[in-house]
Amino acid sequence: MKKPELLSPAGNLTKLKIALAYGADAVYASVGNFSLRQRSAKEFDLDSFEEGVRLAHENGAKFYATVNGFPYNTQLDNLKKHIKTVSEFGVDAFIIATPGVMKLAKEIAPNIEIHLSTQANVMNYLDAQIYHDMGASRIVAAREMSLKDAVLIKEMVPSLELEIFCHGSMCFAYSGRCLVSAVQSGRLSNRGSCANDCRFNYELYAKSPENGALFRLEEDEHGTHIMNSKDLNLSKHIEKIIKTQAIDSLKIEGRTKSEYYAACATKAYRMAIDDAISGNFRAEIYEAELNTLKNRGFSDGYLIHKPFERDDTQNHINSIEEGTHQVHAISIDGDSFKTKFKIDTKHEYEIFAPLNSDINIIENELGSIYKKDEKYYIKFKKLISLKGKEFDEIHSGNENEIKLPIKLPKFSFLRKEIVKGE
C-alpha cells in the first residue's frame, strides 16, 4: 500500500521542532498577514520562519506555507512582496484559497507547488480538474466530502494529489466560510482572526413586535452551545482510508493548539499510518492517546458518513472538555524540565516521548525512572533547579528549570492521568 504523508501543524518554531521529533513527514505554518490563523502567524518572524524551513528540510520533511486568507485590493501589493520573500526561503508549496492568488504565486514563484486550501470547497472532480489545470498540484478537500467522492476524484484526475483533514477542530459553517465572528466581534474569520463565536454559550429570546415583550426561551437537555462542533477524529478509520489508495496526505489541524497537542496528535497518527501499512492496525491505541488531549468531544465528521446522515457532530453541553491526562511538564533539551501544572515528590509521572525513544531505567539521588505496563514513569526524590535551589513542589508559572535524574529524549512530556477527587 502507498503510505500517505503525515502533515502536522507548526504554530511556532518550537511546535515545528516537536512535530518533526514525533514523526511528521511535513509541516505547515504561516508568517505575516495572509493566513487563516493570524495568531499563529504572529508566532513567527521572517528569521524564525526561514529557520523552520531549513530545519524541516534537514529532517527530511517538507514545509508548506499557508497563504490562504482572502485578501482585499489594498493588500495585493504587500501580498506580492510576501509571496516573493517566502518563496526565497525554499518552501515546498503554498497553500492558497483563491484563483487570483494562485495566479499571482505562479507568476512570482513558478517552481513552487500550489496546494489548494480546503476553503476553496472542492467537492467533485470537475472543480478538482479545473484547479489542477490552473496549476494546483494538490487539493485539500472540503471537509464535507465523502471518501467515496475522494476515490472518484482520484480516478478522474490521477495526477492530482488529495489531502484530507484527519484530526482537529471543526467549524459550524460550511467549509469554514463563516461571518458570525465578523458580525458579532468585528473579527474576520476568512482573513485569519476568527473569535470562535460559535463556541460561546448562547441564550435564546423571543420578542413580541406588538408590545416589545421579551421572553427567554427555556433550554432543553442540550443546553445553549448551539453552534459548537465536536472535534474531528479519524484515527480508527486510517487503515480504511489508506486502503483506498486515493489519499496522498493526512492533515492534522491545530496551529494554535498546545505543544503537547502537536506531539500527541502527530505521534498517534504516525503510529496509525505505520501500523496500517505493516498490517498491525490497533485503533484502540491511537484513540486512547488522542483521548488524553483536551477536546470538544470527538466525531468522525463527514468523510465516512454524509452530513445529512449525522446527528452527533455538535457538542451542545460545553465548549471544551478535559482529556484523560494532565500535562505536568515539558523538557525541551532532555536535561531539565519546565513545569506546566504541578510536580512534587509524592506522585509518579508518565514519560511521553517520541516513538522509538531510548529511555534508560535508573535510580539516583534525584529520582527513579522505571517501566510498567509497557510505559515509562518517573518519580522524583528531589526537585533541584539548574541554579541549585531545592523545592518541595513546583507549580505552573515557576520559570525555574528542574534537573532530571537522567537525560530524556528531547521534547519529552511528563503527564498524569486525571483522577476525579484527587
* pLDDT over 90 (residue 35): no
Convert the pLDDT of each residue in 370-413 to its tens digit. Answer: 999 999 999 999 999 999 999 999 999 899 999 999 999 999 99
Convert the pLDDT of each residue in 158-196 to its tens digit. Answer: 999 999 999 998 776 666 666 666 656 666 666 566 767
Cell of 117: 486550501
What pLDDT is recorded for position 219? 60
What pLDDT is recorded for position 200? 72
Cell of 385: 533547579
- From first CA to last CA, the distance across the chain in angstroms is 46
What pLDDT is recorded for position 418? 92
What pLDDT is recorded for position 182? 63
* pLDDT over 90 (residue 10): yes
* pLDDT over 60 (residue 37): no
Do residues 370 and 376 make contact, with C-beta atoms less than 8 angstroms apart?
yes
- For 76-90, 127-141, 305-319, which range has the lowest pLDDT when averaged over its residues? 305-319
Pick the more confident residue, 209 or 278. Answer: 278
**Which candidate, 63, 105, 99, 70, places its Cα nearest to that of 85?**
105
- For 26-40, 88-102, 208-222, 386-400, which range has the lowest pLDDT when averaged over its residues? 208-222
Cell of 327: 500535562
* pLDDT over 70 (residue 143): yes
* pLDDT over 60 (residue 5): yes
What pLDDT is recorded for position 174? 61
**Which candidate, 296, 41, 285, places its Cα nearest to that of 168?**
296
**Which residues partner with 245 through β-bridges?**
none
What pLDDT is recorded for position 217? 61
Cell of 119: 476553503
Residue count of the chain = 422
Convert the pLDDT of each residue in 320-354 to its tens digit. Answer: 778 999 999 999 999 999 999 999 999 999 999 99
- State the angle between helix axes of 13-21 and 259-278 in degrees (0 to 180), rounded to the nearest 10: 30
Which of the 8 DSSP states describes residue 223? T
What percentage of the chain has pLDDT greater than the value 70?
85
What CA–CA distances, in Å, run from 218 to 199, 206, 212, 319, 333? 19, 11, 19, 20, 53
Convert the pLDDT of each residue in 210-222 to its tens digit. Answer: 888 776 666 665 5
* pLDDT over 80 (residue 281): yes
Q: Please report the DSSP string for 350-418 in residue order.
A: EEE--TT-----EE-SSEEEEEETTEEEEEES-EEBTTS-EESEEETT--PPEEPSSPPPTTEEEEEE-
What pLDDT is recorded for position 33? 74
What pLDDT is recorded for position 296? 86
Convert the pLDDT of each residue in 214-260 to its tens digit. Answer: 766 666 655 567 777 788 999 999 999 999 999 999 999 999 999 99
- For range 54-81, the mean pLDDT: 94
Instruction: Calculate the dihedral angle through the C-alpha atoms of 385, 390, 396, 402, rounding to the nearest 10 degrees.
Output: 20
